[in-house]
């Protein structure tokens, strides 16, 4: 089933002025993250019209309408445009739509909005926001923390210590995104964005203590709303019979919504400081992204040392 964004939510987020207050917005949604500037449609060409998209009127379209002297033709174009049941019309630069259009829009039950922003600026902003809101989404069990700007998703069996590790990271100055349930959105072929469900945002559950409000205890600098997922750390019970990677020459990956993310499996034993290990993993990941791999550097030194002999 396709994701939807309520039109009234779009109005609030984009700070739009409603020019058709009599049109009920409660049952209206946006399902497509792209927008359309109906320049060709205003000339009367409606073939291949993307009517399911938000329609934006910029200065060029507005000037064209102003210079159209044939009122009957203009009325016919308005009627055709509004007959497609478009999600809404948005006028940029505080450009005022003419009274005839507003009356016809109200009759057709199509909302008309206005924004003070420039067309290109507003277009970029609304596309970015809609791409995030309408992206494919899944919910997984885990903890998401921003560590030195790296989004670290901590996973593992229930009770293994994910929340405790996150709490220690928060005390060390890092930021919580979500505890227990993480909503993951695929906003592009390269980017996964994680966030918390509204009901559990800023809360951590600690067994034996209960629910802790991180924002109230540690301040607004200890939390953030969303974060790109750059690294996955899976906590697991130590198994002495299992071979663990000790060099890290080859990366392991896990997959969410078709996107691969680097994954480390971290064995848990009493006395291991998880917060420091997670910090080090985050910094090491960032270093690799900048072109330096410590494991490869060690391998190179060993090879050079063998060559000298």
Which residues are annotated as part of the binding site for ATP? 156-163
Give the annotated binding-site residues for Mg(2+): 163, 205
Length of the chain equals 309
Catalogue the active-site residues: 141, 162, 180, 246
In the three-class reduction of DSSP (H, G, I as helix; E, B as strand; rest coil), residue 143 is classed as strand
Give DSSP secondary structure letters for 258-303.
TEEEEEEEEEE-TT--HHHHHHHHHHHHHHHHTT--HHHHHHHHHH
Give DSSP secondary structure letters for 196-263.
--GGGTTEEEETTTEEEEHHHHH-GGGB-SEEE--EEEEEEE--TTS---SS--S-EEEEETTEEEEE
**Cβ pair 238, 250 in contact under 8 A:** no
What tokens appear for 158 in the block? 């229930």
> Comparing C-alpha atoms, which of 163, 165, 207, 164 is closest to residue 182?
163
Sign of CA dihedral 113, 118, 120, 125: negative
- Side-chain-facing half-sphere of 79: CA atoms under 13 Å: 6
Give the annotated binding-site residues: 156-163, 205
For 125-222, strand residue ranges (E) read 137-141, 143-147, 150-156, 175-178, 181-186, 192-195, 203-206, 210-213
> Comparing C-alpha atoms, which of 186, 190, 197 is closest to residue 134?
186
């Amino acid at each position: 089933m396709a994701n939807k964004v309520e039109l009234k939510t779009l109005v609030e987020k984009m700070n739009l002025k409603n020019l058709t207050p009599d049109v009920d917005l409660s049952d209206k949604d946006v399902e497509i993250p792209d927008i359309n500037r109906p320049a060709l449609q205003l000339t009367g060409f409606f073939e291949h019209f993307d009517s399911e998209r938000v329609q934006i009127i910029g200065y060029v379209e507005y000037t064209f309408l102003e210079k159209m002297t044939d009122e009957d033709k203009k009325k016919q174009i308005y009627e055709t445009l509004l007959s497609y049941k478009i999600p809404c019309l948005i006028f940029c630069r505080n450009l005022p739509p003419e009274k005839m259009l507003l009356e016809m829009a109200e009759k057709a039950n199509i909302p008309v909005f206005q924004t003070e922003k420039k067309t290109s600026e507003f277009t970029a902003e609304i596309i970015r926001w809609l791409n995030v809101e309408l992206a494919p989404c899944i919910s997984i069990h885990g903890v998401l923390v921003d560590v030195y700007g790296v989004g670290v998703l901590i996973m593992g069996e229930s009770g293994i210590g994910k929340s405790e590790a996150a709490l220690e990271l928060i005390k060390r100055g890092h930021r919580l995104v979500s505890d227990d349930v993480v909503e993951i959105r695929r906003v592009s072929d390269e980017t996964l964005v994680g966030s918390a469900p509204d009901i559990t945002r800023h809360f951590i559950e600690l067994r034996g203590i209960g629910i802790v409000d991180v924002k109230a205890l540690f301040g607004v600098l200890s939390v953030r709303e969303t974060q790109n997922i750059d690294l996955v750390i899976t906590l697991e019970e130590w198994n002495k019979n299992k071979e663990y990677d000790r060099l890290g020459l080859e990366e392991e990956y896990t997959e969410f919504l078709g996107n691969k993310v680097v994954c480390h499996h971290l064995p848990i034993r009493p006395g291991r400081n998880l917060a420091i290990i997670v910090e080090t993993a985050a910094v090491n990941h960032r270093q690799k992204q900048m072109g330096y791999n410590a494991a490869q550097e060690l391998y190179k030194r060993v090879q050079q040392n063998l060559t000298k002999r």
